[in-house]
Structure 1
Amino acid sequence: MSDPQRPTVLVASADERHARDLQAALPDARVRHTADAESLLRDTHAFTPDVTVIHASLPSRVPIAEVLRMLRGRDDLTHTHHLLIGGNAAALMTAGADLATPAQDASTPALVYALLRRVRQTRHLTDRAAKLQTQLTAAEHDERVRDQLTHMLVHDLKNPISAVMGLLEVVMEDEGRIPDDLAELLRLAREETQHLLHLAVNMLDVRKMQAGKMHLDRQTMFAPMFSDVVNLALGDVGAGLRDRRVNLNFPLGLSPAHGDPEILRRVFANLISNAVKHTTAGGRVDIGARQTGDTLEFTVADDGEGIPAEDLPNLFAAFEQSRLTLHGRFDTGMGLAFCKLAIEQHGGRIWVESERGVGTTFTFTLPLGPEEDDDFAELV
């Protein structure tokens, strides 16, 4: 019984001795013989040789170069290599031969062996590429399923979470009838509900940005507008800031920048919330801006516990967070992942500096907007 793993060489020659000599020199290969061009074409339909050794003197009704072109044009012989012996080497190489030699001699087995090795390498790479493509297709399918699941989950969660928040706010408005201890529980319930809503929205938007499906509503933003955005972000963070000292520093002379106010509001809210998470009551949160060259640079700094150095490299990755936090609440890390993607989509960059026991500073940049024209300046 023949070994299917053994390479196959098809010798096309009027003289069968060429095949026998090659078989003797290549005992690890299966060498078969075919006597004319018509048999060559027929035999290669019956099986796929790894290498064909075609003699230019092979009986044929058409030129050998044309036979080569026919073999090269077949999809089932994509990996087959061809060695031409005799004839016009240059013309045969042009027609599709991989190698050509004047005559079958002692060097022929080495040429055939070289082609067999090339075929083996090519097939190995092709098989590997096919496996990788299969894995990529499966990964893309899984990614689509995750995206659809995330989208469905977030949309199904947003409405009931918003409803719970609204009901809690209605109850909290009736302060006179609620005991102090119950009011504190209601406040905590509202904070946790708002946190859950932020997690869900961040998760959805991170997936959108990663897929390139979120588009920014850019506007020309001046210093007062940035101050308004930060104040809105402080309101989003909510009661967590009531026992923190917050300092704002937005110079009025800042040049304008292009940005999406709503997205930047969420960036600030995430960074401020992170500062609250790493500080205790009475802690300080400083929020500022300055112009550096052709960018605006914004900072959110705290004097809290700081972040361990080993956590910093992956801090902006989804599902990553510092292992050392004061609040003890599990977080997905989606907030900082959202910040990174949002700032990069604005054309800026974001980074963090932290020292244990001293505090943490998050910094991000936005490119300046175009210079305002004279007409616009007169209107201002």
Structure 2
Amino acid sequence: MTTTETLNVFVVAADPGRALQLTPLLPRTDVKYVPDAESLLRESHVVIPDVVLLYTSTPGVPLHQVLPMLRQRAELSGTQWLGVGTQGLGELLAAGADALISDATPSEAVALQVRTMLARAQQHREALLRVASLQRRMDTWEHEERVRDQLVHMLVHDLKNPIAAVMGLIEIVQDDPRIPEDNRELLKVAHDETQHLLHLAANMLDVRKIQAGKMNLKRELMFTPMFREVIEQARGDVGSGLRDRHVRVDIEADMSPASADPEILRRVLANLISNALKHTTTGGVIAILAKSIPEGVQVMVRDDGEGIPADDIPNLFAAFEQSRLTLHGRFDTGMGLAFCKLAVEEHGGTIHVESERGKGASFIFTVPSAQDNDDDDDFVELV
């Protein structure tokens, strides 16, 4: 509400002069005389008053009987109610009057009180307008989120089948002995890039699922042999690019069992290994380490690449973010690291990165021990 907008004041009294005395003292205000409670009920449906002066000496139905009904109307939630009189003020206060004043008070002082209450009424209505505006923006945002979810879901599902078909055809051609060796190398690159595209699509869908709370983990008790198997599977998922890197795997023997979804953990590791691959040059070293800690199992994927600028680290796990220093030209949505963070936290673990420019980067995440989860009974039975 702007300051140039006309404000409305009702004066409910037996004497019309009460309204006439206030009119010149309240500029930009429409002061309306209302003779009784019944008229107030009618007039307040036509015009929404900002302030209503309720004189206790008004004849007819007592004002304190109709005030509770008026206060229940949503459109009058911002209206201020001023009880005026010498008797019956207690009943008005109990009925919901915002302030009380004597009917012997000079008109100037009454006008001052009314202006104060007009300011409160304006603040209330401006707050309602802001809330309504925010609600509209929230509704628009929720609608856009639903549309985005549907679009991502449709896009990923429409892409997965043709990408998988292309991968299958490439594998068939790779097995053909008639293919020259130099062409076979190109086919391997094509297969790896197609697999990368499939991972991008899957990450996009899973990030949205986790954000919406729709990904249900299939937890299992994971001992050292299963961690070793999952890491090997993740290496296979990354593809032939690892042949030009030195990959070292060090898994602590006889680790305490962790509670995790092996398939999701495999994809977390594949994303981290792929990330290490793109930040190292030919002959670089990528180390994958796993060990027991009090909280569960800690896994580290470390590379000796160019490192990550300190300014990039705070946003590194956000979707559509990636380090500005990348040793390859492949486009990346940043969904891989976003998926890793959400998936690890969905397990109840944590993930962070440690890096120094020129000295590589280490991505470290934890998965909780089996004893800290709902798999306690299964663990006891196995033991």
Normalising by the residue count of structure 1, what TM-score does the alignment of the two structures yield? 0.95
Q: In the alignment, what sits opposite 1:13? A: 13
Out of 137, 140, 144, the position equivalent to 2:139 is 137
CA deviations 1:170-220 (Å, max 9, x no partner) are 11112x311122112111111110010000000000010111111100111
Residues 305-314 or 363-372, more deviating? 363-372
CA contact (8 A) 2:258 2:369 kept: yes
CA shift, 1:379, in A, is 6.0
Q: In the alignment, what sits opposite 2:198? A: 197
Q: 1:221 & 1:281 partners in 2: Cα distance?
A: 33
CA shift, 1:378, in A, is 8.9
Q: 1:262 & 1:318 partners in 2: Cα distance?
A: 21
1:78 counterpart = 2:89:
no
Q: 1:258 & 1:139 partners in 2: Cα distance?
A: 36
2:216 counterpart SS class: coil
CA shift, 1:373, in A, is 8.4
Letter in 2 for 1:143: E
Letter in 2 for 1:20: L
Residues 41-50 or 157-166, more deviating? 41-50
CA contact (8 A) 2:4 2:28 kept: no
CA contact (8 A) 2:370 2:376 kept: no
Q: 1:64 & 1:4 partners in 2: Cα distance?
A: 31
Gaps of 5+ in 1: none
CA contact (8 A) 2:344 2:366 kept: yes
1:33 counterpart SS class: strand
CA shift, 1:104, in A, is 4.9
CA shift, 1:4, in A, is 8.2
1:309 counterpart SS class: coil
Out of 111, 114, 125, the position equivalent to 1:123 is 125
CA shift, 1:46, in A, is 2.1
Letter in 2 for 1:22: L
Q: Percent identity?
A: 57
Q: In the alignment, what sits opposite 1:156? A: 158
Residues 242-251 or 151-160, more deviating? 242-251
Aligned residues: 376
Letter in 2 for 1:158: K
CA shift, 1:161, in A, is 0.2
Aligned 1:246-325 pairs, distance under 5 A? 246-325=247-326
2:314 counterpart SS class: helix
Gaps of 5+ in 2: none
Aligned 1:1-380 pairs, distance under 5 A? 5-60=5-60, 62-86=61-85, 87-106=87-106, 107-174=109-176, 176-370=177-371
CA shift, 1:375, in A, is 10
CA contact (8 A) 2:51 2:80 kept: yes
CA contact (8 A) 2:13 2:58 kept: yes
CA shift, 1:89, in A, is 2.6
Write out the 4+ residue segments of structure 1 that deviate beyond 4 Å after TM superposition. Answer: 371-380
1:217 counterpart SS class: coil
Letter in 2 for 1:250: I
Normalising by the residue count of structure 2, what TM-score does the alignment of the two structures yield? 0.94
CA contact (8 A) 2:80 2:117 kept: yes
CA shift, 1:232, in A, is 0.6
CA contact (8 A) 2:370 2:379 kept: no
- Going from structure 1 to structure 2, the CA distance change for 1:52 and 1:379 (only over 3 Å counts) comes to closer
- Going from structure 1 to structure 2, the CA distance change for 1:374 and 1:195 (only over 3 Å counts) comes to closer
CA deviations 1:58-104 (Å, max 9, x no partner) are 111x3221121222122332221111112333321121211112225
Residues 33-42 or 324-333, more deviating? 33-42
2:349 counterpart SS class: coil
Q: 1:304 & 1:274 partners in 2: Cα distance?
A: 11
